[in-house]
Copies of this chain bind each other. A is one copy, B any other.
Amino acid sequence: MVDVHTDLLTAQALAERLLITAGVPAPAAAEQAELLIVAEAKGLPSHGLLRLPRLLRRLANGTASPTSTGRHEWQSPCDLSVDGEQGLGPVVALRALDAIAPRAEQFGVAVCAITNNNHLGMLGYYAARMADRGLACFGMTTSEALVHPWGGTEAMVGTNPLALAVPARPAPLVLDMATSKISMGKVHDHAIRGVPLEPGWALDAEGNETVDPVAAKAGSIAPFGGAKGYGLGLGLGAMVTFLTGAAYGTDVGGTLDDIRPSNKGDLFILLGGGRHSVAEASEYLDQVRRSRRADPDTPVAVPGDGARVRHQNSIAQGIEIADSLWRELIALDTAREAVLAD
Contacts and interface: CB of A to CB of B under 8 A. Distances in A.
Contacts of A79: 107-109, 273
B108 A75 contact: yes
Contact of A235 (B115, B150, B173, B298): B173
Interface string A254-293: 0000000000000001010111100011011101100111
A308 B180 CA distance: 26
Contacts of A153: 292-294
A236 interface: yes
A233 to B, nearest CB: 10
Interface stretch (A64-72, A243-251, A334-342): A243-251
A164 interface: yes
- How many copies make up the complex? 2
A23 interface: no
A317 interface: no
A9 interface: no
A301 interface: yes
Given A238-B166, A303-B234, A275 B228 contact: no
Size category, A interface:
35 or more
A235 B168 CA distance: 12
A177 B179 CA distance: 14
Interface in A220-236: 224-226, 228-229, 231-232, 234-236
A10 interface: no
B243 A107 contact: no
What does DSSP make chain A's interface, helix, strand, loop or mixed? mixed
A78 B177 CA distance: 29
A19 interface: no
A215 interface: no
A100 to B, nearest CB: 10
Contacts of A285: 238
Given A242-B276, A275-B81, A291 B108 contact: no
A341 B281 CA distance: 53
A157 to B, nearest CB: 7
Contacts of A136: 239, 242-243
Contacts of A300: 149, 151-152, 156
List 6 tightest A-B contacts by C-beta distance, closest first.
A225-B225, A79-B108, A245-B275, A248-B284, A231-B303, A175-B235
21 contacts: A77-B107, A78-B108, A81-B273, A149-B300, A156-B287, A156-B288, A164-B232, A166-B238, A167-B242, A168-B238, A175-B232, A228-B229, A234-B288, A234-B302, A239-B271, A241-B284, A242-B280, A243-B274, A243-B275, A248-B276, A249-B287
